Structure 1
Amino acid sequence: MTIGITGATGNVGSRSARLLIQAGIRPRLLVRDPARLDPGTAELSEVVRGDLLDPAFLTAATEGLDALLWITPENFTAPDPLAEMAAIAAAGAAAVKTSGVRRVVLISSVGAERRHGAGLIDGLAQSEEVFAATGADLLILRNGYYFTNLFGNLDELRDGRLTTTMPADRPMPWVDPRDVGEVAAARLLAGNWSATELQAVHGPRDLSWGEVAEIVGLVIGRKVGLDVVPDDAMAAGLRQAGLSDAAVDGLVRMTSGLRDGFEPEQPRTPITTTPTTLASWVAGTLAPALAA
C-alpha cells in the first residue's frame, strides 16, 4: 500500500505517520517545511515538499497513492482563513480525482454537520463536500475539541485564568489529537469502508469548560479560575493580537455556532471513545509547556 499524509508536522498527521511506519508502511508525506518533521520519521518516509495551495504539486504528489490522509490546515494569520481552507480543499479534491486515489480519510470536526454558521469549522464542512464529490471511498473523522487548543491559553493559564465564550457547565467532547492520529492510521491500514462514511472521535468523556479548568488546576497544582466572556470581548482580544476581521469572525463563530442546543450528529459510543484523558495530557504535555 502507498499511503500519503498531509499535515505530517502536526499533532494528528505526525502520529499517523509514526504508526504507519511501525506497521511497515513507508508513507509519503506532503509537507511545506520538511525541517519541521521528526528526523526519524523523515528518514523512514518519502518526503515531498510543496504547498497545498498549488494544484500542480498536489497532482504530482498524489500520483500512485492507494490512500490519503487529508488534513485541511487552518491558518489563523491568513487574511481570510476560511477562503484559504476552501481553496486548499478544492485543490486536494481535484488532485484525488485526477490521480485516481481510491480511499481518503478526511480529518473534520464536530460541528461540520451544521454546514454553515460555525466559523472555521465551515471550512471543514466544505472539505467534506468536495472530497465526497471525487468518487473516492471517503471516511470522515469528526473530532472533538483538541486538548492542544489549550496551548493558545498558555499566558493566561500561567496567571491562573482560563477564558471561553462557552457556558461553563456545557459539556462537549474533548480529545487528544494523537488519539485521532491513531484512529486515522488504523482505518487507513484496514481500508474497510466504501462510498462515504462518518466516524466521530470524541475522547474519553465530554467535559465542560468548568471541569477543564478544575482538571488543569489539580494537575498543575494551583487553582485555575474560569472567565466566561461575551463574543464581543473575545473578538476584541483577538483583534488586539493582530488577527484580521475574517480570522476573528471565523474563530469566534467556532464556539458561538456550537452553543444554544447544538448536539453532535454522531452520538458517543465505544467506537468514538478514545483513551487519553485530559489529566494525563496536561501532566505530560501542557504542564511542561507552562513551566518553560
Structure 2
Amino acid sequence: MRIAVTTPTGNVGHHVVATLVRAGVRPRVLLRDPGRLAPGMQGEVDAVPVDQYDADAVVAATEGVDALFWVDPTTGSEDPLADYARATRSVVRAVTDNRISRVVFQSSVGAEKRHGVGEIDGLAHTETALDGTGVDVTHLRCGYFFTNLELQLDALRAGTLQVVLPLDQPMAWVAPRDIAEVAATRLLSPAWSGRCVQAVHGPADLTWRQVAEVLTAATGRQIGVERITDDAMRAQLHQAGMTDGLVEAVLGMSTGLREDFVPEQRRTVHTTTSTSLAAWAYDHLRWRIAGVS
C-alpha cells in the first residue's frame, strides 16, 4: 500500500510517520521543507516538498498514492477559513484526479456543528467536501490536544491558566501520539469502507479545574485556573500578535462549544485512548515549565 502523509513533522504527523515505518511501510511525506524531518527518518521516507495550498503541487505529490493522511495546515492569516477552503480544494483535487481510494482526515470534536465554532468550521468544510468525493474516508474527531498546553508555558510558570470556558465543564483531552495510533491503524486496516467518523477522546473527560490539579501533581508546581471574559482573551490573543480574523477564529473554537454542546459520538471503548494527561505532563511538560530543554 502506498501511503502519503501530510504535516509529517507536526504533533500528530511525526508519530503517524514513525508508526508506519515500524509497520514496514515507506510513506511518502508532503511538507514545505524536507530538511525539517528528523535525521534518522530521512532515509525511511520519500519526502516531497509541497505547499498544501497549491492544488497542482498536491496533485503531483500524491500521484500513485492509495491512501492519504490529510491534515489541514495551520494558518496565521487574517482570513483563516479562506485558507482552510484553499487547502480543501487541494485535497479534493488530489483525491479526485489521482483516484485515491482512502483518506484519513484529522478533524476535531465540534466539526459536527458545521458552523459557529471558529477555526473548526474550516475542518467541517473539509469533511463535507471529502464526503462529496465519494472516497472511503474516516474523519478523526479529536479532543483537545495535551500539547496545546505548551502554548501557555509562561502562564504555567506563573501558576495560573486563564480560559473562557466554564471551569467545571468537562471535555475530551487527548495525546497527539494516541491520535496518530488511531490514524495509522485506520490507514493500514482493510476492515472499513464508506464514510466513517472516529472520535478520539483520550482516556477521560476533564474539567479545567481537574486539569489544574493534574498539572500541579505532575509538575510539582502549584497551578490554578481562572475564567476570564471573552474580551480579556481577545486582548491576550491580540497581544500575542494574532490578526483580528485569527483572534475570532481561535476564540470561536471555545465559545462555539460552550453552550450545551454534546459530541456526536459519545465516549465508548472505540473512542477512548490510553495516554493520561498526568503521564504526558510528567514526561513532556514539567521540564519545559522548569525551563529545561
The corresponding residue for 2:273 is 274
Q: What are the Cα deviations for residues 87-144 of structure 1, in whole angstroms up to 9, with x where unaligned?
A: 1111111111101100000110000000000000101101101111122101111000
Deviation at 1:80, TM superposition (A): 1.6
Aligned to 1:146: 145
Q: Counterpart of 1:185 in structure 2: which amino acid?
A: A
The separation in 2 between residues aligned to 1:16 and 1:242, in whole angstroms, is 31
Could you tell me which residue of structure 2 aligns to residue 158 of structure 1? 157
The Cα of 1:192 is off from its aligned counterpart by 2.3
Distance in 1 between residues matched to 2:21 and 2:279, nearest whole Å: 25
Give the aligned partner of residue 238 of structure 2. Answer: 239
Amino acid at match of 2:10: G
SS across alignment from 1:72: coil
Counterpart in the other structure of 1:106: 105
User: Matches of 1:17 and 1:24 in 2, distance apart?
Assistant: 11
SS of 1:227's equivalent in the other structure is strand
1:86 corresponds to: 85
Give the SS at the match of 1:140: strand
Query: Counterpart amino acid of 1:264?
Result: P
Aligned: 1:260 with 2:243: no
Structure 1 residue runs of 4 or more that deviate by more than 4 Å after TM superposition: none
Instruction: List per-residue Cα deviations over 1:48-94 (Å, max 9, x = no partner).
Output: 0010011111011111001000011222x222222111111111111
Question: Equivalents in 1 of 2:195, 2:22: separation in Å?
Answer: 28
Q: Is the 8 A contact 1:103 1:191 kept in 2?
A: no
Query: Any unmatched runs of 5+ in structure 2?
Result: none
Cα distance in 2 for residues equivalent to 1:26 and 1:290: 36
TM-score (normalizing by structure 1): 0.98
* Long gaps (5+) in structure 1: none
Partner amino acid, structure 1, of 2:6: T
Residue by residue over 1:215-264, the C-alpha shift from the partner in whole angstroms, topping out at 9 and shown as x without a partner, is 10111112111110111110111112211111000011100000111010
Structure 1 counterpart SS, 2:107:
strand
RMSD: 0.9
- Aligned residue type for 1:274: T
Aligned residue type for 1:31: L
Partner of 1:25: 25
**Contact 1:20 / 1:27 at 8 angstroms: preserved in 2?**
yes
Q: Does 1:6 align with 2:33?
A: no
Equivalence map 1:28-47=2 (5 Å): 28-47=28-47
Q: Distance in 2 between matches of 1:186 and 1:138?
A: 13
Q: Which residue of 1 aligns with 2:57?
A: 57
**Contact 1:220–1:283 under 8 Å retained in 2:** yes
Aligned residues of 2:52 and 2:73 also touching (Cα < 8 A): no
The CA distance in 1 between the partners of 2:163 and 2:50, in whole Å, is 36
Matched residue pairs, number?
A: 291
CA deviation after TM superposition for structure 1 residue 191, in Å: 3.0
